[in-house]
Structure 1
Amino acid sequence: MSGTRVEIHPLGALMRRFAVDWLDRADPAVPREIMAPGYTIRIGGYVLENRDAYVETTSEQLARFPGLTITVHDAIYSDDGRAALRFTEHGASARGGAAAWRGIGLFSSHGGVLVDNDCEEDYLGRRRQLLAGEPDPVDPPMVAPWTEPPTPADPEAEKLVRTWVDGGGPTGEEPGIVHDDACADAPSTMLLDVDGCTTDAVFAAGRRVAFHAVQRGRYRGGLPDVEAAPGTSAELRIVGLVEVGADGAINGHVVRDRLGLRRALTDGTGAGA
């Protein structure tokens, strides 16, 4: 029996070490081997500007969820050293209960190591599950996330997604977009009347495009235990991994920093993080 030889590209191997050796195994020696000293992560409105700060913060979360596992559902790699993973982190909390929460991260590498990451995770979904005592199911994994070959960007697809996001981006009503809180028996909740959006990062691998952005607008309602009046100015960080069809339709997944929005509205800071 013959077939095409499958190889792991160095970028796929790097992301495998990030997901398996670092997060799954919680090996604190790994970040020094796969990340630059200035490794920076932007998540939930926070910025950790060096590797040691990131490792310290992440190690606290790994200790809170002993045995935490990351399941990768989708992965893309560009031909200029960038990668995006759509994943679920799941595990039992040391404080009791278990949860499975979705996330998407956009990574950049240089010289064989990771240099930064724009990421959002559905921490509000995690909070809901821990309080309810009922974890969500984990979506099926991608069969071969580490052998996906790097692909040159399709400029048209990247431009279409950038234009869409700059024009406001996903609202929660698009039929082709699956949001963090959507499930079989409950559609996603539209949280903002969006007035504008700022794109922080975007890149394409073929006609598949990853982006991170901040939506600004007026709160519509829909978050639990929030007394802020509809119409309150607010901002919402979003991250997506989508594909542009031949007809220009955009389909894919979006994760929103709903916990950050809830925190801002509850603290009375509105548009602040």
Structure 2
Amino acid sequence: MRRYVHGFVNAHDPDVARSIMAAEYRLHMGSDTLVGRDEQYIPAVLHQMAQFPGLGFSIHELITDGTRTALLFSEHGHAGRPPGHGAAWRGVSIYRAEDGLLAECWVEQDHFGRRHQLAVGEPEQVRPVALDPWSGHERGDGTDRAHADRAHAERALRAWLGELASWPPAEGEVDAGVSGSTQPSIAVASVALNAFVVEGSRVAFNATISGTYQGGLPDGGGHGAAVATAIGAFARLEDGRLTGLDAISNRVLVQRQLRASPQGATASPTA
């Protein structure tokens, strides 16, 4: 992970990615899945680096069980296109290792917030970074305790997700930032837990939330459309309950679905 952050992303060196990732590397973001390190993943990353020539990557929190690692991070930089506005946007990523290489990732980034910052020309500040994200972790060693911790976390996550009647939830932070108050309201019909990591009392997870759009995004169309959003989040486990949610959601994915839906096309042709 240190080589991923500093050798690949911050140094913009795709050769490092080839040395630490499996050839069949898979990345899941929203409804998209990139398959193949060289065929799809690296070209997509290089495209983003071209959009932000000085792109940087900062870690706010890292948890790991030895096989899976979750990052709460920010990416930041100035757009290459005039007028060159800057932006800092957060994300949550979960990586799975296999045979000593990164094999799979689930990630969500606040691209909606990034677009807002670039449009208004006012970048958000990068939040305080982790002092030392690499040290002091409990090792996932396959013990009964490790299995028990993971089972305990999964029960708590599925219980929390199962209780969601609407999105965003009443408690916790979602897409914290200047544009965070602009949220799609979704009447939840189903949820899917895609990946999670637990270390001590901290848990990170990726999930898909599907339901019916109730409004909330600009342009006002699409009410009643079937939509889904993907979320990445960090939280705390306390007495078997999930607390302190800090989530990143895929608002751009919801916008894309609304534009494609009959309701969105009829009610808001310019959305």
Shorter chain as normaliser: what TM range?
0.7 to 0.9
Residues 226 and 265 of structure 1 are in contact (CA less than 8 Å); yes or no, is this contact kept in structure 2?
A: no
Change (3 A) 1:72 1:169: farther
1:100 alignment counterpart: 88
Q: Work out the number of aligned pairs and report it.
A: 253
Partner Cα distance (1:58, 1:112) in 2: 22
* Aligned partner of 1:214 among 208, 218, 222: 208
SS of the aligned residue for 2:241 comes to coil
Unpaired runs of 5+ residues, structure 2, are: 141-145, 265-271
Matches of residues 1-273 of structure 1 in structure 2 within 5 Å?
Answer: 15-52=1-38, 53-79=40-66, 81-95=67-81, 96-152=84-140, 153=146, 154=149, 155-168=151-164, 171-175=167-171, 177-182=172-177, 187=181, 189=183, 191-229=185-223, 231-246=224-239, 248-268=241-261
Q: Deviations over 1:66-119 (max 9, x none)?
A: 11111111110103x110001110100001211111100010012221000001
How far apart, CA to CA, are the structure 2 residues paired with 1:89 and 1:269? 35
Retained in 2: the 8 A contact 1:75–1:148?
Answer: no
Percent identity (aligned):
32
In 2: Cα distance, 1:250 partner to 1:91 partner: 32
Residues 171 and 45 (structure 1), Cα distance of their counterparts in 2 relative to 1, 3 Å cut: same
Residue 11 (structure 1) aligns with: none
Rate the CA distance shift 1:140–1:269 in 2: closer, same or farther, 3 A. Answer: farther
In 1, Cα distance between equivalents of 2:213 and 2:12: 38
| Contact in 2 for aligned 1:237/1:257 (Cα 8 Å) | yes
Give the drift of 1:150.
3.5
Q: Which runs of 5+ in 1 are unaligned?
A: 1-14
CA contact (8 A) 1:199 1:213 kept: yes
The answer to whether the Cα contact below 8 Å between 2:58 and 2:129 also exists between their aligned partners in 1 is yes
- Tell me by how many angstroms 1:224 deviates: 2.1
Task: Compute the displacement of 1:190 (Å).
Answer: 5.5
RMSD of the TM alignment (CA)? 2.3
TM-score by length of 2: 0.86
Amino acid at match of 2:18: R
* Equivalent position amino acid for 2:29 in 1: I
C-alpha separation in 1, matches of 2:191 and 2:131: 34
Of 187-196 and 53-62, more deviation after overlay is shown by 187-196
**Amino acid in the other structure paired with 1:227:** G
The 1:109/1:269 distance shift into structure 2, 3 A limit, reads farther
